[in-house]
Amino acid sequence: LSSCNLRCEWLKADGKTNLCDTAYSSHFPENEKRNISEVLEAMDHFKCKHVVITGGEPYLQPQLPALIEEIKKRDHFVTVETNGTIYMPTKADFISLSPKLASSCVKTSPHFNEHQKHRLNMGTLVEFIIKHDFQFKFVVNDPGDIKEIEGVQKYLEGFVDESFTDKIYLMPQAITKDELMKSSLEVADWAKTKSWNYTDRLHLRLWGPKRGV
């Protein structure tokens, strides 16, 4: 789903920057409009029973609850990927939370101040984790991210009275296969030291930065 309320831009080791891997739905939203019936018709061409709604930021869309309700009528399992800054009740089966860390926007970005102001909404994250089955998928870019993730985990675990170490996944920041190859082992090692999970970008390994694969 197109449009996002954040503007991620990571600083790379060579001094250049990467926009998020779906810049066409955030920095440069395409805004192709479809009604719910058209979305369902397109979805019905696939035989999958697990539907993942991603963005951009899906919770910006006021019709998200209605879309999910119609998908559920088809007996599909629905996961929503979200940055966790906005909440509204839905019938989603699973929420994949991807809060954005301090490294997610370079200071030279014109969007830096607004991004930093809105990137982490602890109150909304609490609402998600007490009302839905969930996981956390953090896009990590440098070692400093690990300490911030630990802080988020410690704070939120106070609201569920149990550890969710097994629900935390680290994903390397990368938009090309070469970038992924350079950082994946290091990120996997960071995950191992904290007993977290590592999740890859398999589509990059197989197809590179192609869409619709």
Whether residue 201 lies inside any domain: the answer is yes
- When the pLDDT of each residue in the chain is averaged and rounded to a whole number, the result is 95
Q: Can you give the pLDDT at residue 206?
A: 95
- Return the closest-CA partner of residue 61 out of 39, 93, 77, 28: 39
Q: What is the pLDDT of residues 99-146, one digit of tens each?
A: 999 999 999 999 999 999 999 999 999 999 999 999 999 999 999 999
56 preceded by a cis bond (ω within 30 of 0):
yes
Q: How far apart are CA 65 and CA 103, in angstroms?
A: 31
State pTM to two decimals. Answer: 0.94
| Residue 212 domain flag | no
CATH number of the domain bearing residue 137: 3.20.20.70
2 is a domain residue: no
3-state helix, strand, coil in the chain (%, to 5): 40, 15, 45
Number of domains making up the chain: 1
Q: pLDDT value at position 27?
A: 82
Both tokens of 149, joined, read 């993730």
d(CA 162, CA 65): 29
First to last CA, the chain: 16
213 is a domain residue: no
Residue 106 lies in domain: 9-207
In order, the DSSP letters of 142-180 are: STHHHHHHHHHHHHHHTTTTS--GGGEEEEE--SSHHHH
